[in-house]
Amino acid sequence: MIQVIFEIPHITENEVKDLVTKKLEIEFDKFKNENESYYFDGLYNSVLKYKFKNIRNVNRYINTLNLTFEMVRDDVYNVDYYALKALQVFLPEFYHFIKKNKDLLLYDYQYSINSRSNDKEIIKKELAEAINNLNLSDIPIQNVESFLQVLFPNLKRIYTNVDNRDYMSEWRVNKRLCTGNNFDTYFKYAVPSWEISKEEFDQIVYSETNEMIKRILTLPPNLQIKFISHLDSIIRNEHYIFHENNKKSITGTMYCIGNKIGDETDVYPYIIIVERIIVNLLKTMDVEKAFVILKNAITKSNNLDTICELSCGILHDLEKDEPKEDIINLKKSHVDELKLIITKKIKNFLISNDLSELKMPLFILQVWKNFGNEKEVKEYMETISESNFIMLIKVLIKNKGLDEISISEAIDFLKEFMDIKTLENKLDNIISSKQFEKENLELVESFNSILKT
């Protein structure tokens, strides 16, 4: 028998890298552009190349990816996931360090309420100590730091003077590992219950108005907030294509539930995001089509608070002729017609409903007056019930004391909606009726006393 020596041909470092890239693109997603390829190169050349030594390692890695990638494909950024999965296979200690240090790695010193995190050097020191404790003796520390800055670009603000926070919205849209909304998905085989998946998001955002309203309001408050935040980001980054009917449904939905997003105890006014969504959706459209969509949304909505809040921001004053970005360039005739629709809705609502049913009664009265119906507002205030009048003055002095300055400011505000005689009569009628609680009577008497001084 003749023995033949079989030699496995040597494979160079560059050939291994080419093989990894080729297999990733064949088995999964092709890199979309040169930036993605460059980004993967940065991750590979800094750390991953030290572990991809042969074809067997490459096959082991690809087989592991095959087990999990399809489950989360739509909810992760492919290059981030490729890199993280390589750490799990070849550098498990490094992988678990990332998994357990979310707060440290997603550090953002602008928004942190933790006072010690205002010192970048402390964070840098924490990272250096953590890296030194990892079993990465064959990889230079500076390479590990470079790897982390590519995987977590927010860390560039720690290691360098680069301020890249303008890209945060884009990172969120692209499902990057470096954002809080996406981080946990990378370590699970499904989107966690406290996040919203791409599949669920798409089902909502491409549904008709009534269905969209139902789906959004069915979400827990935290997911409602994440939904509109993500919608805002993808519109600003032009990440989705929305056709006219989609824009109509989204705008109609926002006008119906804009002020219902989140929990009532939330401090942040999410209506600001809702307004931005509508403006960015419609500002590039033909002006006539944008007008029709707005008119339809305002006409069909029964949420007067949201109608007025959104419209005050969207219906800008065209007569000033000031060029602005981020506006819907409506014609003056469009603005006038929409204002007329809104004032009619306010008037019709108050004919058959109580002022106290509104979340922002004073604001609604201001909108009614400012949109050109001051006379109608004064006529309404002449007939307003005593209980509604007391409710208004309570709103005016909320969180203020019953001092002369606070009450005088409240009286000046009321004078915008009613003449002095009507105001005096309302106060006198309440005092003389003696039908109200002692606390309310004392409040009215304080107003009356200062008004007549």
Helical H segments across 29-151, by residue range: 34-46, 55-72, 78-90, 92-100, 102-105, 120-133, 141-151
Q: Please check whether residue 211 is in contact with residue 260, taking contact to mean a CB–CB distance below 8 angstroms.
A: no
For residues 298 and 241, state if they share a domain: yes
- Residue that finishes a domain, picked among 124, 144, 179: 179
Give CA separation, 294 vs 121, 212, 248, 321, 424, in Å. Answer: 50, 17, 8, 21, 41
For residues 167 and 272, state if they share a domain: no
Q: Please check whether residue 443 is in contact with residue 394, taking contact to mean a CB–CB distance below 8 angstroms.
A: yes
For residues 133 and 168, state if they share a domain: yes
For residues 225 and 173, state if they share a domain: no
Whether the pTM exceeds 0.85: the reply is no
For residues 158 and 301, state if they share a domain: no
What was the pLDDT predicted at 344? Answer: 93
Tokens of residue 62, six digits: 């690809």
Residue 429 in domain = no
- pLDDT by residue, tens only, the chain of 453 residues: 566 555 556 678 888 889 989 998 888 888 888 888 999 999 999 999 998 888 899 999 999 999 989 989 999 999 999 999 999 999 999 999 999 999 889 876 444 444 344 567 888 888 888 888 888 888 999 999 999 999 999 888 888 878 787 888 889 889 999 988 889 999 988 888 888 899 999 999 999 999 999 999 999 999 999 999 999 988 988 777 899 999 999 999 999 998 888 876 666 788 899 999 999 999 989 999 999 999 999 999 999 999 999 998 888 655 455 556 678 888 999 999 999 999 999 999 988 888 888 888 889 999 999 898 788 888 888 888 888 888 888 888 876 667 788 888 888 888 888 888 888 888 888 888 777 788 888 888 888 888 877
For residues 277 and 345, state if they share a domain: yes
- Residue that finishes a domain, picked among 352, 380, 395: 352
For residues 173 and 202, state if they share a domain: no
For residues 120 and 249, state if they share a domain: no
Residue 149 in domain = yes
Tokens of residue 332, six digits: 């003056």
Residue 378 in domain = no
What was the pLDDT predicted at 86? Answer: 95
Tokens of residue 221, six digits: 């408050």
What was the pLDDT predicted at 165? Answer: 79
**CA 78/CA 36 separation, integer angstroms:** 9
Tokens of residue 43, six digits: 């991750």
For residues 156 and 247, state if they share a domain: no
Tokens of residue 264, six digits: 């009532």
**CA 146/CA 153 separation, integer angstroms:** 10
- Residue that finishes a domain, picked among 304, 333, 352: 352
For residues 149 and 229, state if they share a domain: no
Residue 76 in domain = yes
Q: Is the dihedral of CA 201, 204, 206, 209 positive or negative?
A: negative
Residue 359 in domain = no
Of 322, 442, 354, nearest in space to 394 by CA: 442
What was the pLDDT predicted at 4? Answer: 54
DSSP 8-state symbol, 303: -
Q: How far apart are the first and last CA of the chain?
A: 123
**CA 153/CA 63 separation, integer angstroms:** 28
Tokens of residue 406, six digits: 């606070």
For residues 246 and 295, state if they share a domain: yes
81 HSE (CA, 13 A, CB side): 29
| Tally of structural domains, the chain | 2
Question: The domain containing residue 137 runs over which residues?
Answer: 13-179
Tokens of residue 415, six digits: 């004078």
For residues 277 and 222, state if they share a domain: yes
Residue 450 in domain = no
Residue 89 in domain = yes
Q: Tally Cβ neighbours within 10 Å of residue 172.
A: 22
